[in-house]
Amino acid sequence: MTQHYRLLISCPDRVGIVAKVSTFIAEQGGWLTEASYHSDQQSQRFFMRNEIVTDSLSVDKDTFMARFKVVADEFQMTWRLTDSAQSKRVALMVSKHSHCLADVLHRWQSRDLDCEIVAVISNHTTLSHMADWYQLPFHHVPMSTAEEKARSNEALPELLSALDVDLVVLARYMQIIPESLCEAYEGRMINIHHSFLPSFVGARPYQKAFERGVKLIGATCHYVTKDLDEGPIIEQDVVRVSHRYDEQEMLKKGKDVERNVLAQGLQYHLEDRVMIDANKTIILD
């Protein structure tokens, strides 16, 4: 695959941003293969993503960034430049449900997801064989008792730091993440919730959906915050259900939605297509 730099920009909206950025890239010899932007009328902010062929630039990355800072300062930009050649290091966290873990691992092995999975972490040993099959390190963080939960939650930050992860994916990890860890990985921890949020937050959403008699169930991929199931939403989808379905049939239907929504949300993040705006996301696809 062609190597790209990805330039992501957020700033107060005003006339001339696209022209200034595009002209700057052209002056550095940059070949733009993709340019996406969004002007948010409510917040009056502008969001932009550019893909630049790395080999087309006449300057190195450090020089590009130093020169672009002049443009960024003029427009009060929050910005970053990432390199598609540097795959993000990902840790997968899971409990007992295997469908999301299996799907992500398969897509990763098939190179459909561009990342480096460095470990599987679980509060159970049920799925350790899947990590073994993919020749990945497996870390058990028991949570069966209050004492175990306290020790494991205390050890998790050190473990993730030692793994040097860029992103944590909760692939049906059925534990509440400590507030300090949510803050440490703000914008870098993704969860799949088996409900079309904001409906049916918390545990047993399929049971709640069954009891409510809904006709659509769904799944939500979102960033984790200290507020349970209320982080910025990256991706969602739904599937129609019938009054004839019981909770187990809803669960079976929902698993397919969960897999696809997590994979799509993860891909958006890995490709640097997600920009967070307060408690919303802008997906520059």
Give CA–CA dist 102/210, Å, rounded. Answer: 26
List, as one string, the DSSP characters of 136-191: --EEE---SSHHHHHHHHHHHHHHHHHHT-SEEEESS--SPPPHHHHHHTTTSEEE
The active-site residue out of 40, 229, 237, 277 is: 229
Give CA–CA dist 100/92, Å, rounded. Answer: 10
List, as one string, the DSSP characters of 191-217: EEESS-TTSS-SS-HHHHHHHHT-SEE
H or E stretch including 222?
strand 216-223
What are the tokens at 157? 């930050």
**Contact assessment for residue 267 and residue 259, using Cβ atoms and an 8 Å cutoff:** no
Give CA–CA dist 229/92, Å, rounded. Answer: 18
Q: Which residue bears the tokens 């450090």?
A: 62
Give CA–CA dist 218/212, Å, rounded. Answer: 14
Query: Catalytic site residue 73?
Result: no
Catalytic annotation, residues: 229
